[in-house]
Amino acid sequence: MTYPTDPTGTTPPPQPRPQGWAPVGPGHPAAPYAPAPPTGALSWWLGMLLLTLVPVISNGAAAVGAAVQHRTFTDPRDALAREVSRRAANFHLSLTLYTVLLIGTHILLLVLLSGTEAAQGFFPLGIAIGLVPVLGLYGLVLSVVSAVRASRGLLTPAVGAIPFFRR
């Protein structure tokens, strides 16, 4: 039997595709796929902005990005992604607040103690500013660990996060 579209007569006619299948090529349907559900891991990956080494600005950018992503998950089926992004936003906002407080404390100590005997050496003036890199390192490690766990569908408790966003 020959077919009108094939001069050699060897190509079978196209078969009807099941409902919902997208065509891949002539006569080769592709199975429908469900897109992967959102995980909210991007909210944690924004913590990598801390690598820019600009303490308050990079913290603030990560916090704003995580908060914006948290507000985008409105579908009840995205409950895990919403919880992950809520925890990330709370942590990044808390990290920003802690960094501002530490830098402010350092400046206050410089103003109050400069010219006194207490200003000799690194301590006590350097305690507050010395904690900023420690806090940044904690933020980086927690961001990476939490992002990897979120991509696997697991939650990570953000120790030290102030609950700015409740739900």
**pLDDT tens digits, 102-118:** 999 999 988 888 888 87
Please indicate, yes or no, if residue 48 is contained in any of the structural domains: yes
Please indicate, yes or no, if residue 50 is contained in any of the structural domains: yes
Q: Classify residue 47 as exposed, middle or buried by CB count within 10 Å of its CB (0-12, 13-18, 19+).
A: buried
Mean pLDDT of the chain: 83
Please indicate, yes or no, if residue 16 is contained in any of the structural domains: no
Whole-number pLDDT of residue 156: 93
C-alpha count within 13 angstroms, C-beta hemisphere, residue 66 = 32
Please indicate, yes or no, if residue 165 is contained in any of the structural domains: no
Indicate if the pLDDT at residue 23 is higher than 70.
Answer: no
Please indicate, yes or no, if residue 115 is contained in any of the structural domains: yes
Please indicate, yes or no, if residue 4 is contained in any of the structural domains: no
Q: What is the tally of structural domains in the chain?
A: 1
Please indicate, yes or no, if residue 127 is contained in any of the structural domains: yes
Indicate if the pLDDT at residue 3 is higher than 50.
Answer: no
Expressed as residue numbers, the domain containing 92 is 41-151
pLDDT above 70 coverage of the chain, percent: 80
Please indicate, yes or no, if residue 29 is contained in any of the structural domains: no
Indicate if the pLDDT at residue 34 is higher than 60.
Answer: yes
